[in-house]
Structure 1
Amino acid sequence: MTETKSETFEEKMKHLEQIVKQLDEDEVSLEESLKLYQKGVELTAECEKILKDAELKVETLNRKGAEDE
């Protein structure tokens, strides 16, 4: 379960939703549950980073726009 660099935010979120659904609905072993949970934590961190980067970019653009006025 390695990170796919080309995976978009939306794909990461969809994968995370699938993990949650699998943990909620399927009967999985403890070992598999731990692997899924770990992957979910990794995906959550990746998504948070993408969102923070996007927020910084928007703030930068807003500041630049305000300076140009």
Structure 2
Amino acid sequence: MNEQKTETFEEKMNRLDEIVQALEKDDVPLEKSLELYKQGIELSRECERILKDAELKVETLNKDTDNEE
């Protein structure tokens, strides 16, 4: 069985930080840099989506709370 573990937002951010640190080094070959850059862009988009979803949930909760008062 091939089970995929879903990374948390924090894990994604930590991985993104690792990628940034690796890209800041001068000794990373071009092909590896491009691969890391692509992974970083994908992680950045995933994190942005997670944050937008969380923001919508908070807005919904706030509206529900306002309606109850």
Asked whether the two chains share a fold, i.e. TM above 0.5, the reply is yes
Q: Which structure's relative contact order is higher, taking Cα pairs within 8 Å and 6+ residues apart?
A: 1
Partner of 2:46: 46
2: CA distance between counterparts of 1:35 and 1:5?
A: 21
- Please state how far the C-alpha of 1:25 moved relative to its aligned partner: 2.0
CA separation in 2, counterparts of 1:68 and 1:61? 11
Aligned partner letter, 2:65: G
Determine the C-alpha separation between the residues in 1 that align with 2:5 and 2:38. 18
Structure 2 gap segments, 5+ residues each:
none
Aligned pair count? 66
- Counterpart of 1:9 in structure 2 is 9
**How well do the aligned residues superpose, as a CA RMSD in angstroms?**
1.2
Question: Which aligned segments of 4 or more residues in structure 1 are displaced greater than 2 angstroms?
Answer: none
TM-score by length of 1: 0.91
Which 5+ residue runs of structure 1 have no aligned equivalent?
A: none
Identical pairs, percent = 61
Structure 2: distance between partners of 1:5 and 1:43: 15
Superposed displacement of residue 26, structure 1: 4.9
